Amino acid sequence: MRHLVKWLMATVFLMIATNCQKDEFDSMALPSVTGQEEQVLPRSLDDDAFSNLLNAFRAEIQALIDNGTLEGVNGYGILGRLDNIEKKYLDGKKQVALNMLNALINHLEGLHNGGVIPQELFEGLLAGVQGLIDWAEYGCTEFHVPFAYNGLSVNLPPSGNVTLTPELFLVNDVGCCVLSFSEDPADWALELSCADEEYKVVEIWVTNSLGTQDFAQTALYLQDNFGVCEGGTSNECAPIAIAYSGLAVELNMQGEAALAASQINAGSIDACGTGSLSFSAKKSNDDNDPAEFIIFGFDDVGIVSVELWVSDGIHASKVMVQVFVQDNIAPI
């Protein structure tokens, strides 16, 4: 069966949004200061970028506190360390901040060795701290033009609120550059709720330490499949389902195409902290249970509504997208 599915699998195309440039990469010059103003220097772009990275890492720690992975002093102790690191960095004591970041790595290793942080999570947190160290020590003079996916569909969780980060929307890796949702490098979080429109255009900005900037536009489709915007929010936990919008599949010579549920997933969030997400999918008009693969045929040519189901083994969430089924192979 596995070989049959592989035989049926068609190429899945991810449409890429148009990239937009700002002022042909003009540098952002800082204002000059004279006299008494020199005693209170404006924050530099480098400072804002470091705070942006730190805020993103701080949000990761807060999420682990909220889902119970880091309880008590294990979580809030790290937040306190991050506050002190930021203060030292912005006060110009960058070597002290670097020493504190290296000490934080040792602290995370201790939590990992003590069984508090599982391996996969430890590796992710380690990479986050290392990114902070690299920026503080070397800055970021390289630059990468951003390319965004055609769009994402997101289902609101039972709380009615979700926070997204820019990297979810990008096709390519931008290295050490800072990502944000606007020209301001500190604008790193997109907070969504029932008050937001179902459709919005999103800009993903890339900034390096020289002030070089560029951005790409993409789309966001916000869904309320739990009905929280009509029936009220709750503290119930559930994964946050996120899917690619505008996927396209092409029928093969036999007139079939298979799309894996994992290919529809665009970075769904394990909001309950279970450490394990699984994906299944089905056509919206199909009465069968969601499965690992969806099989398309000649009858599906055109636009097909598809449901992606995300489960952590206890809780489940769905998000709906449209898939474009194409028949481009000429008959023999």
Mean pLDDT of 156-162: 91
What's residue 133's pLDDT?
Answer: 87
What's residue 10's pLDDT?
Answer: 40
Helices then strands, counting H and E runs in the chain, come out as: 7, 15
**pLDDT over threshold 70, residue 31:** no
**pLDDT over threshold 80, residue 35:** no
135 or 30: which carries more pLDDT confidence?
135
**pLDDT over threshold 70, residue 252:** yes
**pLDDT over threshold 50, residue 121:** yes
CA distance 283 to 126: 39
Query: Model confidence over 195-232: pLDDT tens digits?
Result: 998 999 999 999 887 788 999 999 999 999 999 998 77
What's residue 233's pLDDT?
Answer: 67
Partnered with residue 302 across adjacent β-strands are 325
Confidence of residue 128 (pLDDT cuts 50, 70, 90): confident
**pLDDT over threshold 70, residue 291:** yes
Which structural domains are found in the chain, ordered by start? 2-16+146-326 (no CATH), 42-138 (1.20.1440)
Confidence of residue 45 (pLDDT cuts 50, 70, 90): low
- For the entire predicted model, the pTM comes to 0.67
Query: Model confidence over 299-314: pLDDT tens digits?
Result: 999 999 999 999 999 9
Q: What is the distance between the terminal CA atoms of the chain, rounded to a whole angstrom? A: 27
Percent of the chain with pLDDT over 70: 85
**pLDDT over threshold 90, residue 290:** yes
Q: By C-alpha distance, which of 181, 150, 185, 156 is closest to 167?
A: 181
CA distance 258 to 251: 9
The secondary structure of 259-294 as a DSSP string is EEHHHHBS--B-TT--S--EEEEEETT--SPPBSEE
Confidence of residue 17 (pLDDT cuts 50, 70, 90): very low
Cα torsion angle, 109, 112, 114, 117, sign: positive
Confidence of residue 285 (pLDDT cuts 50, 70, 90): very high
- Please classify residue 310 by burial: count the beta carbons closer than 10 Å to its beta carbon, then call 0-12 exposed, 13-18 middle and 19+ buried: buried
* Average pLDDT across the chain, whole number: 83
Confidence of residue 46 (pLDDT cuts 50, 70, 90): low
What's residue 275's pLDDT?
Answer: 79
User: For the chain, where are the alpha helices, taking DSSP H only?
Assistant: 2-8, 45-66, 73-90, 94-113, 119-138, 228-231, 261-264
CB 249 within 8 A of CB 11: yes
What's residue 330's pLDDT?
Answer: 66
Mean pLDDT of 164-176: 89
CB 89 within 8 A of CB 97: yes
What's residue 250's pLDDT?
Answer: 94
